[in-house]
Chain A
Amino acid sequence: QSVLTQPPSASGTPGQRVTISCSGSSSNIGSNYVYWYQQLPGTAPKLLIYRNNQRPSGVPDRFSGSKSGTSASLAISGLRSEDEADYYCAAWDDSLPWVFGGGTKLTVL
């Protein structure tokens, strides 16, 4: 049972815009930054979004993050086949240090 709640799956067709939600509480998302990681099959996670909505160098602007209250979202626009991966949200928690979501498997139809 993960501290942050994500839908187990999401899907979209090429070119579509999809969003993945992440729900937490006042001790994590509500008072700290949110991060998003992309994990392609058989590889290590890769930082996609930091500080709620900042993209590291090299991450396409098709990926965007937002946060409101105790929830956050990752949006992927112009969906591409190579976006098929698992996506994890994460946040610092005032009591638990780092916490991760349960992950969302994105399928590109």
Chain B
Amino acid sequence: QITLKESGPTLVKPTQTLTLTCTFSGFSLSTSGVGVGWIRQPPGKALEWLALIYWNDDKRYSPSLKSRLTITKDTSKNQVVLTMTNMDPVDTATYYCAHTTDYGDYGFDYWGQGTLVTVSS
């Protein structure tokens, strides 16, 4: 059974760096083709893909946010960490991590419950 859960601060101040952790179970990020991605959703708005890391440490980022994002994995801890620098109120959103396999061919088939991050002073 695959599960993912996001954790991190619920409130950050403008200009601060956000660090989110996705802790998962039921799969290994050392298995060929497996990846974990981050997707966010501002309140009442659409989904926006942010970043993705594959089993072989191949990393992909949204071009519009690439300069602010870093995604890493710790295979031994079954965790993926996303950092986003220089947070702004427009970054207020629910942040989801999600599992994919076969290099994304099967889509994001398992999602975490999401964590709401509010950016405010």
Contact = CB atoms under 8 A, between A and B. Distances in A.
Interface of A: 2, 33, 35, 37, 44-47, 50-51, 56, 88, 90, 92, 95-103
Contacts of B96: 44-45
A44 B107 contact: no
Interface in B81-118: 96, 104-109, 111-114
Contacts of A33: 105, 107
A100 B63 contact: no
Interface of B: 37, 39, 46-49, 52, 60-63, 96, 104-109, 111-114
A44 B109 CA distance: 11
A9 to B, nearest CB: 13
Contacts of B47: 37, 45, 88, 90, 100, 103
Given A47-B108, A50-B106, A96-B63, 15 more contacts: A33-B105, A35-B107, A37-B47, A44-B111, A45-B96, A45-B111, A46-B111, A51-B107, A88-B46, A90-B107, A97-B49, A97-B52, A98-B49, A100-B46, A101-B46
Contacts of B37: 98
A2 B46 contact: yes
B46 A102 contact: yes
Contacts of A45: 39, 47, 96, 108, 111
A37 B96 CA distance: 14
17 contacts: A2-B46, A33-B105, A35-B108, A37-B47, A37-B107, A44-B111, A44-B114, A45-B47, A47-B108, A47-B109, A88-B46, A88-B47, A96-B62, A97-B52, A97-B61, A101-B46, A103-B47
Given A45-B111, A96-B62, A96-B63, A51 B49 contact: no
Contact of B62 (A47, A97, A101): A97
A24 B47 CA distance: 16
Nearest to A48: B107
